[in-house]
Amino acid sequence: MSRKLLLVLVVLSVLLLGISVTSAQMEIPRGGTVIVSEGQQAPFQAVFNPYNPNPTRWTRMSMFEPLIVFNPVGGEPNYFLATSYTYGDDLLSLTFTLREGVLWSDGEAFNADDVVFTFNLIQQFPGLDWHGLLAFVDSVTKVDDYTVTFNLSRVYTLAHIILGRFWPLPEHQWSTVADPVTFANETPIATGPLTNVTAVNEQVLEICRNANYWGRDEAGNQLPYIDCMRQPVFLGNDPANLAAVNGEVDWIGNFMPDIDNTFVAADPENHHYFFWPGGGTVQLYVNTTKAPYSDVQFRRALSMAIDYQSVVDIGMYGYTIPANPTGLGPINEGWISQAALDAAASMGLGVFDSAAAAAVLDEAGYVDADGDGWRDQPDGTPIVFPVQVVNGWTDWVTSVQIVVESFQAIGLNASVDTPEFGQWLNNLQTGTFDVSIGWSASGLTPWDFYRAVLDSTLITAEGVANGSTWGRWVSEETDGYLTAFVATADEATQREIMNNMQMAYVTNIPAIPLFPGPTWYEWNDSRFTGFPTEDNYYTQGSPWEETFGARLLVLLRIHCVDDTSCGQG
Amino acid sequence: METSQPVSAPLGVPQPKPTRRVQLPDWMNSILRNRKASVGIIILTFFVLVSLFAGQLTSINPTRRVGRPHEAPSAEHILGTTRDGKDVFSQVVYGGRTTLFVGFLTGTIIIAISIVMGLTAGYMGGWVDEFLSMLTNVFLILPGIPLVIVVAGWLDRPGPATVMIVLGAISWAWGARVLRSQTLTLRNSEFVAAARVVGEPTWRIILFEILPNMVSLVVSSWIGAVQYATLALVTLEFIGLGDVNIVTWGTILFWAQNNQALLTGAWWTFIPPGICIAAIGLSLTLINYGIDEITNPRLQRS
Amino acid sequence: MRFLARRLVFYLVALLVAIVLNFLIPRLMVGDPVQLIIARFQGRIEPSAVDAIKATFGFVQGPLHEQFFTYLSNLLQGNFGPSVMNYPVQVSQVLGASIGWTLRLVGTATILSFLIGTLLGIVAAWRRGSFVDGYVLPFLSVLGAFPYFWFALMVVYVFAFNLRWFPMSHASDISLRPDWTSWPYVSSVIEHAVLPLMTILITSVGGWMLGMRNNMIGVLSQDYIVMAQAKGLAERRVMLTYAARNAILPALTGFAMSLGFVIGGALVIEIVFSYPGVGFTLLQAVGARDYPLMQAIFLLITLAVLVANFLADVAYVLLDPRAR
């Protein structure tokens, strides 16, 4: 081979390589059906009404888009049907600028009329008020075709988050619907990336791309990259997990026991998971209206007695971390008050120390008075308490078994009680319990968590505790922080309020935080890529996430690995 | 599921004539002489003994964490450990105790109600029979397991006691129907007529004249009921409707399944309880088989 | 005929009782469907949205007697009202999808199990001590002793997950459009039914076989069989038309009951194989306190059992001259 020819070949191959590299950067492969598994444990029905209490999966935050998605990871706004928002000077109005050039999936243009129509519809049919807007919005006015102003009935500085989640409906379709509450909307018209329902039956849901979708990537390509989303029905975790291990699904939001030895081991190259502990904090609720649980020293001893690490490692399979005593998890990381943490540390809260816990009980007079081996109340009344947990929720049951072991170790006669879900919920709401494990809420600010647990206005006159107010904590101080927080837009003031709130939480111990809820999320990189990874966790990856709308952010990023993988499925 | 319940003595079919006053010892003798029945009895006795001497067989508390998660069988843990580090052997031993106890007690409750309903209806006749038969037939058409699922939701807590009450309350109809038709044939026999002439009270006639003549039928129905109750209990627990905090064979399987025992290779949490349940089922089948052969010698002749 | 008329009256009364029980039994459960819907979101909804949900589901929270009359009038019009967990979809639509699968799978399994079991029972009784009598019967009895969910899980794990001979879940290939005229779809349905069908068959056939064998042996010793044999009638004819015909009578009621209960589905099999049947729908309805859905399923089971029983009565009258 002559040197000249060799040179030509080298140059040519470099050129070719260069071209292929740039084209890979430029052109993201399009098409493909991403297979999702996220715990749909019932046959699909065609209910594409986003304001139905329980619409078909993927109706909200994929078929219907909100105005703004506030990313649960970091809290940054991602603008969808709105492009900006501003509060009025008196904080009694909130104005959204709407996105221009958005088409409904049937080709009609989206504008301010749709937003005004939808809010008026909700006002007319309160059964549609899924976001609880009527509690703080009076009316809406159209400023121009792409600007609307919501007039608030009271100052509520979280209004932009709640209203950001509002799903406009197409006026040209819904204005003819007689009763929008009972309307199933079997042939939906929406603006989201996936609107074309190609299968909805007892075995599978398949929704394909909206040909009119407004979204474009930086290179100007229309989004989404994927053609369709297909979700099979699995009647339980087991068949779903077997399918995942077998590589039959791409995007998963299920609990899997021993995930490293099963799912990951089956294909370590492509099978990944990341359980971001950004869910609501799971806590031990105590009935603060009853002795001895009404005694803060008793609650303090409970908090010190628990073997948190074992709860997390064995009960929760090591999938989360022990909670800190403020109850705030990673989703509110930036809000956690060091002063509150220090105060908690000086009280010994949240740190497993049986001896110290026993000492607290001894000092407060909880000793074994009748010689049966268990501690009694200072007046001699025996302490016997079952810790309630929903029957069959295995991670929680195991966690409670460990908690009970911890309590028994300091001489408390605790046991595990496993009522069925409906019964359990009823017990917590009506206050027929002593101690129980339970969930809490989480939001972009700590307000959602503290409000769910402490807001005494959520307890009805009949004594039914809504939200997570099961502990029946009633305090003017904490109620005051909750109202003050949403009455100001000043961030420094808000921080100060939340610092005080955290201090109140650790000193009063209205509930005992156990661990922040892990958010189940696994993905299979063999056919699709672009999923949030542990290193690049651009949003919560769980395909079931439709409170914040993180799912929309993922849907618009994922694409098939190459053209062959686009063709499968 | 009800699909596999064979019919042994349905309505309207003439039954083989019972021999008068079967002596229990004879009865036991013939059972022990029957090969199938004795194999069944040996298996059953083995499990009963294991349950009785659970404390002697293992010193490990089945509800305490004693090892690392999913330890394979070893000298220390003969059948390994569960996902949360509990000893499987000890769980199987103690779990068997609860399972057998609940199974037998439930079977007994079922058959007791069957006897009361069936014998009263069959002997009394008239409107009592009409009413009780009606009741029996209504209970017969109520779907068993689905109903248990619903009724279990009424009672405070799921658990063995719930299952016992519910299964007992709704599963007696089949046995009552079988026993009633047998009572009908016995009611007109000479010795019952004789007892009536002598002036024995009704309850005495039912208990001491009629019942002893149906011993084989009662025993085989009882064993059938125990078998049904045990399987129903295990199945309900497996689908998560039992108390998952109590150790029984059903809940061991529930936990094994929830921790994906087969997928993670922890077969020791899944296979042993399954085999134990099957062994109990088999032993009861064999005993019933033997009883059939004894009361109906034709079955034995080759 | 008087026999059938009497039975008919009974069935009517039983139906009325069942209609009332079907209404009452689910409502005695603790827990409220509306709270359960809210709770399913585990704190991820605005507490003020609770009012919206309550407004939507007012119809399951009215006084009991009002609910009962709604239920009755719905029944008379032949509908069951909307399902709670699938609101506003009608109960009939929710059940429509799953009933087909249940009838096909569990129905086929029940009929096959009865036929195969009966046939084997006849052979075992006729050829005492043969291979069928001496080995097949005990073998099936051992299999029948296993809890069938356990058996089903082992089957899935070995034949579907490890060996990959059969699909692990669903009733058909979910990437295919349901179309009963297309062979790829029908064949995928058959392929998906193999494992669940075999599981039900294997664990239930032994019971029928043993029952039939024992009945048959009883009949075989009757005088008229001995007579028929003595007269030199063909062996097969004696076995089938004389002996089996009479021996099958006692099993008919049991078979009818099983057929009736088919509509209740095979819960555990459905869960293990993700088979979209009625059993799982009922379990879900119970969990969600979906009264209308529960009522409908119970009513359908009751009706099916009654109809099946009545048919068994008719068959009885036809086959057994003594009953006329």
Q: Å from C268 to nearest chain A CA?
A: 10
**pLDDT tier at A315, thresholds 50, 70, 90:** very high
Cα distances (Å, whole numbers) of residue A189 to A47, A103, A177, B248: 13, 10, 13, 53
> With an 8 Å Cβ cutoff, are B69 and A419 in contact?
no
Residue A490: predicted pLDDT: 94
Residue C133: predicted pLDDT: 87
> With an 8 Å Cβ cutoff, are A47 and C97 in contact?
no
Query: Closest by alpha carbon to B241, among A390, A236, C151?
Result: A390
Q: Å from C85 to nearest chain A CA?
A: 7
Residue C62: predicted pLDDT: 72
**pLDDT tier at A23, thresholds 50, 70, 90:** very low
> What is the identity of the amino acid at B89?
F
Domain formed by A283-352+380-516, architecture: Roll (3.10)
**Considering Cα of C67, then C73, then C74, then C76, what sign does the dihedral take?**
positive
> With an 8 Å Cβ cutoff, are A245 and B84 in contact?
no
> With an 8 Å Cβ cutoff, are C42 and A130 in contact?
no
Q: pLDDT at residue A465 above 50?
A: yes
> With an 8 Å Cβ cutoff, are B134 and C264 in contact?
no
Q: Give chains near B: 3+ CB pairs under 8 A.
A: A, C
Give the Cβ contact number of residue B194 at 10 Å: 11
Q: Extract the tokens encoding C10.
A: 């009974």
Which of B5, B7, B257 best probes binding to C when mutated, by most C CB atoms within 10 angstroms? B7
Identity of the residue in A258, A315, A391 whose CB atom sits nearest the CB atom of B240: A391
Question: Cα A504–A509–A510 angle (5° rounding)?
Answer: 95
Query: Closest by alpha carbon to A268, among A525, A38, A569?
Result: A525
Residue B1: predicted pLDDT: 34
> With an 8 Å Cβ cutoff, are C87 and A236 in contact?
no
pTM assigned to the model: 0.87
| Ordered alpha helix ranges (H), A171-276 | 171-174, 237-245, 265-266
**pLDDT tier at A280, thresholds 50, 70, 90:** very high
State in words which class domain B52-62+89-301 has.
mainly alpha
Domain formed by A68-174, architecture: Alpha-Beta Complex (3.90)
pLDDT in tens, A202-258: 999 999 999 999 999 999 999 999 999 999 999 888 889 999 999 999 999 999 988
Cβ contacts of A402 on chain B, cutoff 8 Å? 65
Which of A310, A418, A427, A437 best probes binding to B when mutated, by most B CB atoms within 10 angstroms? A418
Q: Å from A354 to nearest chain C CA?
A: 31
Cβ contacts of B234 on chain C, cutoff 8 Å? 147
pLDDT in tens, C269-296: 888 888 998 888 888 888 788 888 888 8
Which of C149, C259, C298 best probes binding to B when mutated, by most B CB atoms within 10 angstroms? C149
> With an 8 Å Cβ cutoff, are B255 and A418 in contact?
no
Phi-psi region of C265 (alpha: psi -120 to 50; beta: other; left: phi over 0): left
Give the Cβ contact number of residue A247 at 10 Å: 15
> With an 8 Å Cβ cutoff, are C43 and A127 in contact?
no
**pLDDT tier at B94, thresholds 50, 70, 90:** very high
Residue B9: predicted pLDDT: 36
pLDDT in tens, A350-402: 999 999 999 999 999 999 999 999 999 999 999 999 999 988 888 999 999 99
| Ordered alpha helix ranges (H), A83-129 | 112-124
Q: What is the mean pLDDT of chain A?
A: 92
Q: Å from C320 to nearest chain A CA?
A: 44
> With an 8 Å Cβ cutoff, are C48 and A132 in contact?
yes
Query: Closest by alpha carbon to B232, among B89, B110, B113?
Result: B110
pLDDT in tens, A152-194: 999 999 999 999 999 999 999 999 999 999 899 999 999 999 9
Q: pLDDT at residue C222 above 60?
A: yes
Residue A154: predicted pLDDT: 95
Q: Does C280 touch chain B (CB under 8 A)?
A: no
> With an 8 Å Cβ cutoff, are C207 and B12 in contact?
no
* Higher-pLDDT residue of C156, B153: C156
Q: Does C100 touch chain B (CB under 8 A)?
A: no
The pairing of beta strand A413-417 with beta strand A384-388: parallel
pLDDT in tens, C234-245: 878 888 777 888
Q: pLDDT at residue C190 above 80?
A: yes
Q: Å from B208 to nearest chain C CA?
A: 28
Mean pLDDT to the nearest integer, B187-193: 83
Residue A19: predicted pLDDT: 44
Mean pLDDT to the nearest integer, B203-207: 84
Cβ contacts of C40 on chain A, cutoff 8 Å? 54
> With an 8 Å Cβ cutoff, are B259 and A391 in contact?
no
Q: pLDDT at residue B150 above 80?
A: no
Q: Å from B43 to nearest chain C CA?
A: 13
pLDDT in tens, B218-274: 888 999 999 989 998 898 888 888 888 889 999 999 999 888 888 888 899 999 999
> Within the 191-250 window of chain A, which residues sit less than 8 Å (CB to CB) from chain B?
237-238, 241-242, 245
Cβ contacts of A237 on chain B, cutoff 8 Å? 258
> With an 8 Å Cβ cutoff, are C283 and B137 in contact?
no
Residue A12: predicted pLDDT: 52
Q: What is the mean pLDDT of chain B?
A: 82
Lowest mean pLDDT among A399-408, B97-106, C229-238: C229-238
What superfamily does domain C92-289 belong to in CATH? MetI-like (1.10.3720.10)
Chain C residue closest to A56 (CA)? C86
Residue B12: predicted pLDDT: 37
| Ordered alpha helix ranges (H), A126-208 | 159-164, 171-174
- The CATH number of the domain covering residues in A31-46+197-276+521-569: 3.40.190.10
Identity of the residue in C30, C37, C168 whose CB atom sits nearest the CB atom of A242: C168
Identity of the residue in B143, B253, B285 whose CB atom sits nearest the CB atom of C145: B285
Q: pLDDT at residue C34 above 60?
A: yes
In percent, how much of chain A has pLDDT > 90? 84
Residue B13: predicted pLDDT: 38
Residue B176 makes CB contacts below 8 A (sequence gap 6+) with B113, B114, B115, B117, B118, B121, B132, B136
Residue B17: predicted pLDDT: 44
Cβ contacts of B178 on chain C, cutoff 8 Å? none
Mean pLDDT to the nearest integer, B186-194: 83
Query: Rounded CA gap, B76 and B69, in Å?
Result: 14
> With an 8 Å Cβ cutoff, are A129 and C289 in contact?
no
Identity of the residue in A43, A129, A442 whose CB atom sits nearest the CB atom of C52: A129
**pLDDT tier at B142, thresholds 50, 70, 90:** confident
pLDDT in tens, A535-547: 999 999 999 999 9
**pLDDT tier at C43, thresholds 50, 70, 90:** low
Residue C126: predicted pLDDT: 85
Q: Å from B167 to nearest chain A CA?
A: 18
Residue A434: predicted pLDDT: 96
Q: pLDDT at residue A405 above 90?
A: yes
Q: pLDDT at residue B298 above 80?
A: no
Chain C residue closest to A517 (CA)? C42
Domain boundaries, chain B: 52-62+89-301
Cβ contacts of B16 on chain C, cutoff 8 Å? 218
Residue B27: predicted pLDDT: 67
Q: Does C228 touch chain B (CB under 8 A)?
A: no
Mean pLDDT to the nearest integer, C149-174: 90
Q: Å from B137 to nearest chain C CA?
A: 8
Q: Extract the tokens encoding C163.
A: 């060996």
Q: Give the 3-state secondary structure of residue A229.
A: strand
Mean pLDDT to the nearest integer, C72-98: 86
* Higher-pLDDT residue of C73, A69: A69
Cα distances (Å, whole numbers) of residue C306 to C16, C106, C115, C140: 12, 18, 22, 30
Q: pLDDT at residue A330 above 70?
A: yes
Cα distances (Å, whole numbers) of residue A191 to A55, A170, A310, B136: 17, 9, 47, 59
Identity of the residue in B16, B137, B153 whose CB atom sits nearest the CB atom of C10: B137
Residue A24: predicted pLDDT: 47
Q: Å from B190 to nearest chain C CA?
A: 24
Identity of the residue in C40, C46, C52 whose CB atom sits nearest the CB atom of A126: C52
Cβ contacts of C44 on chain A, cutoff 8 Å? 280, 441, 547
Q: Å from B82 to nearest chain A CA?
A: 11
> With an 8 Å Cβ cutoff, are B70 and A238 in contact?
no
pLDDT in tens, B7-44: 333 333 344 444 444 455 666 777 778 888 899 999 99
Q: Give chains near C: 3+ CB pairs under 8 A.
A: A, B
* Burial environment of residue C168 by CB neighbours within 10 A (0 to 12, 13 to 18, 19 or more): buried
Lowest mean pLDDT among A432-446, B191-205, C25-39, C308-322: C25-39
**pLDDT tier at C313, thresholds 50, 70, 90:** confident
* Higher-pLDDT residue of C245, A345: A345
Residue B153: predicted pLDDT: 62
Q: Give the 3-state secondary structure of residue A276.
A: coil
Q: Does A502 touch chain B (CB under 8 A)?
A: no
Chain B residue closest to C307 (CA)? B141
Domain boundaries, chain A: 31-46+197-276+521-569, 68-174, 283-352+380-516
Chain B residue closest to A426 (CA)? B156
* Higher-pLDDT residue of A435, C127: A435
> With an 8 Å Cβ cutoff, are A401 and B85 in contact?
no
